A and B are shown apart, each in its own frame.
Chain A
Amino acid sequence: MSGEHAGSAAGRGARSPGAGFTLDLHRCVGCGACVLACRIENGRTGTAPWRRVVPVNLVRRLAGPTYFLSVACHHCDKPACLAGCPSRAYEKRADGVVLHHAERCLGCRYCEMACPFGAPQYDRDRGIVSKCTLCAPRLDDGRLPACVTACPTGALQLAPPGRDTGGEALRDVPGFVDPAGCGPSLRFRAPAGARREQLFRALQEAMAR
């Protein structure tokens, strides 16, 4: 998505049908508590993490502040993983959660290739793929995902299904693109005014490199 597009009306998140994450870019300090909480909750302490923190401008170039994108599976409206899976290992639940069923997985890794966000992780040991479940077992239990619970600054939040993300939440920020039209459910909150311009400039610069 282009720079002039970012933050414009077209980029604003309207009502989204499914549950998903909201990330406040001003509040995220990139501490990695979400990553660690995810690893602990899902028993993935020795394998590739489902969630990761992508720093933008970590060396603190003068043009803009350092930001962090904490990302996992976006539980898309039109999941490319699901569409690309020959063994029907993926399911899109009514509440929007995209689940991967390990018992049906062939380990062909088509989903890994199809997903533009790098969400599915191939586990060499098991020969199959896995990914973020939005902590579906916790959601079903009335609890928040582990990453959201762990976030010490409240930067990472859960927007429940049918949420109105409001006029403030952004669907797109520079550096976060939806090239395959999957409709990721991740929404962003960003500071207002000059700080937002600075942020978007930093993100664009990071993207250009």
Chain B
Amino acid sequence: MLVSLDERDRIVAIEGDPENPATGGRVCLKGLAYAQRQSDPARLLAPLRRRRDGRGFEPVGWDEALEEIARRLVRLRDESGPLAALYYEGSGSHGALGGLAEAFWRQFGGCTRTHGDLCWPAGLEATRLTYGANLHNHPRLTVESRLVVVWGHNPAETNVHQWRLILDAQSRGARLVVIDPRRTDSTDAADLHVQPKPGTDAALALGIARIVVDEGLEDAAMLRAHAHGFAQYRARLADYPVQRVAEITGVGASTVRELALEYGRVKPALLIAGFGLQRHHHAGQAMRAVALLPALTGNVGVPGGGWQYANLASHCLRPLPLPPEPPARRSVPVSRLAASLETLDAPPIRAAWIERANPGSQNPAAPRLRRALEALDLVVVVDQFMTPTAELAHFVLPAKTLFEEEDLVTAYWHPYLQWRARIVEPPGTVRPETEIWRALSQRLGLDTSWFPGDREAFLRGLLPEPSEARLDELKKRPMDLSGLGDVAFADRRFPTPSGKIEFASDQAAERWGVDRIPGYVALGEGSESPLRSRFPLQLLSCKTRERIHSQFGSLAWVRGVERPHALDIHPDDAGPRGVQDGARVAVWNERGRIELRARLTPGIRPGVVHVLEGRCHEGDPDVNALVAEGVTDMNHGATFYECLVEVAPV
């Protein structure tokens, strides 16, 4: 992005970088809003300490704050051991330097950390098991597609740069199919919109595969040469006749057939999967089932085709230099943070340090998590703004923004590594997190040489081939340093155990205890669940264009253009419940209850309701109060979209 400064070196405007081939020199709403975020009056500019009477915060100097934090951490370590401290980091404003907190904690003697990820890990693992790596074609090849299938994803809102390319493909004659239980801005542009019941994607994918194979539309030559376990997979397809698939998914048999024939026949076809269909317990297996469709139809290693989920081509940096790992390590699944805080023993968690994250609003079971955090002896939150999490802290330390420290930034859709320049000095007494860790290390008498003095030299050392020239080039434009080329798997080499695309995966069975062949498993809280007698509606809490989760929500600019917060509900579900358009309703299950306004929309699938996530400002309801702390079948993901609720007027 290009940043304009005024005569007093304040950031006034942001535009897209024409040198960035992924964005075409454009920015999204959030990119523009960074200008306001930078100088928003609510931004934290100095450390805060909870007042002794517990009522709010008072300003405190850095020295005093760090001295007290250091003293309390050391006391806690002496009494309970280092694992009594939890270090929790999110991905807000993240760069390579974010990982340096580990240099402190390793020298501290270890700490309790989290593993897994709230966002996308089941899909990552499913893709890795299937193709061996999370890579996909360069985004610009999207326009060469003749058929784009967008599955569980709403790029018109959540990846507008990808959306521009999809529209370009469409204007060049490609057909667009969008699979989503909701009607969205993306489905509205589609030539075909398929609305399955949430959590039934595996059945839909296997139903499509069955028709493709029955019609002889599979790429037999490709499968012979590059598929592992295809015969067993094909035998399994017998379980998915179209009538059964239609019953499970709620998608008409003729639509399943239409979709299968189109996907089987049109080449090249691009399948873009979102994170939405892997936020339930059987997410990994579902994603494997969907990810195999491009392999079945010969769309892998082809420009304009492919499986597009995650592109980690830019994740090519060398590992951070860190002190040796201490013997004491402990880690809990990130989606079970509340339960972990409540139940961990030997030692129990007594302190938490939270950076670049707002778990008190964004994690499953958020209210329980807030209560658990409140009960700790010490909570330190580093953030740019007050959040529901920061409100619970004993110390809130002000965080830098992305304009205030050099860093290297990787991506997960395009292949570019980017240099993030320091454009302005941090305002007030704000200092980068690396400096906070250095200062704290100093107070504990730890080795501070792990924290870079010369950031540029340090970051250069992280490049795959460290050199002045490379860094100078990188400062001018985003670069693809992966050396992988634009077409993923063009050479048909798949870094799986078999060296082939794995329709059957021993690794899946060994690592995660799931079936070698992906199949459909009904959700514990889904369309076939007995719990539906009490909580009949499936709740989705999807992402919105105005936010990156709970970020940006405090900004007047963003609030000025965003839509009112509401529960989307189908008139067929609203009618019998006496729910009127615009009326206040309660949404509840055994875990929690929220209140907000209802918005009747015939666009959503009956039996499904929807609330945008990431809203935790000015009394917004806490949708994660309703969400269980489930863990996905693979790779420790969260199960946000496996959530049954009931709705009634208040």
Contact = CB atoms under 8 A, between A and B. Distances in A.
B181 to A, nearest CB: 13
Contacts of A59: 581, 599-603
A37 interface: yes
Given A36-B561, A59-B599, A150-B27, A30 B15 contact: no
B15 A31 contact: no
A154 B599 CA distance: 30
Contacts of B27: 33, 150, 152
Interface string B610-642: 000000000000000000000000000000000
Contact of A152 (B160, B557, B561): B160
B554 to A, nearest CB: 14
B35 interface: yes
A12 B155 CA distance: 31
Interface stretch (B183-191, B368-376, B389-397): B183-191
Interface string A29-41: 1111101110111
B160 to A, nearest CB: 4
A61 interface: yes
A29 B36 contact: no
Interface string B179-199: 000010100110000000000
Contacts of B558: 36
Contacts of A27: 164, 167
Nearest to B25: A149
Nearest to A194: B191
Interface string B152-174: 00001100110110010000000
A198 to B, nearest CB: 10
Contact of A66 (B12, B185, B604): B185
Interface string A47-68: 0010001000011111001100
A151 interface: yes
A161 B394 CA distance: 61
Contacts of B562: 32
Given A45-B557, A60-B602, A154-B164, A32 B29 contact: yes
Contact of A29 (B16, B156, B556, B581): B156
A87 interface: no
Contacts of B586: none
A36 B164 CA distance: 19
Contacts of B164: 27, 152-154
B28 interface: yes
A31 B189 contact: no
Most buried by B among A30, A33, A40, A152: A152
A149 B561 contact: no
A59 B189 CA distance: 15
Given A33-B29, A66-B188, A153 B601 contact: no
Contacts of B16: 149
A45 B163 contact: no
B160 A41 contact: no
Contact of B28 (A33, A41, A65, A154): A33
Interface of A is mostly: loop
Interface string A116-154: 000000000000000000000000000000100111111
B33 interface: yes
Nearest to A192: B171
A59 B599 CA distance: 8
Most buried by A among B33, B164, B558: B164
Interface size class of B (residues with CB under 8 A): 35 or more
B160 A36 contact: no
Contacts, number: 96
A26 interface: yes
B13 interface: yes
Interface residues of A, number: 31
A61 B602 contact: yes
A29 B163 contact: yes
A150 to B, nearest CB: 6
B28 A31 contact: yes
A29 B160 contact: yes
Given A150-B26, A151-B26, A60 B557 contact: no
Interface string A78-115: 00000000000000000000000000000000000000
Contacts of A30: 185
Nearest to B581: A59
Most buried by A among B12, B23, B32, B581: B32
Most buried by B among A31, A41, A154: A31
Interface string B556-589: 1110111100000000000000000100000000
B33 A36 contact: yes
B532 interface: no
A29 to B, nearest CB: 4
A36 B185 contact: no
Contact of B35 (A40, A60, A152): A40
Interface string B17-32: 0000001101111001
Contacts of A41: 13
B648 to A, nearest CB: 21
Given A35-B561, A60-B602, A45 B28 contact: no
B32 A33 contact: yes
A153 to B, nearest CB: 5
B115 interface: no
A42 B556 CA distance: 16
B599 A152 contact: no
A30 B558 CA distance: 13
Contacts of B188: 60, 65-66
Contacts of B28: 31, 33, 152
Given A26-B167, A59-B601, A152 B26 contact: yes
Contact of B160 (A37, A60, A153): A153
B167 A150 contact: no
Nearest to A150: B32
Nearest to B33: A36
Nearest to A202: B188
A36 to B, nearest CB: 5
Contacts of A39: 557, 560
Nearest to A30: B185
B420 interface: no
Interface string B316-327: 000000000000
A53 B563 CA distance: 11
A62 B193 CA distance: 12
B50 interface: no
Given A40-B35, A60-B601, A146-B13, 8 more contacts: A29-B163, A31-B28, A33-B29, A36-B33, A59-B603, A66-B188, A149-B15, A153-B160
Interface of A: 26-27, 29-33, 35-37, 39-41, 45-46, 49, 53, 58-62, 65-66, 146, 149-154
Interface of B: 12-13, 15-16, 23-24, 26-29, 32-33, 35-36, 156-157, 160-161, 163-164, 167, 183, 185, 188-189, 545-546, 556-558, 560-563, 581, 599-604
8 contacts: A29-B156, A30-B185, A31-B157, A35-B560, A36-B561, A149-B15, A152-B27, A153-B167
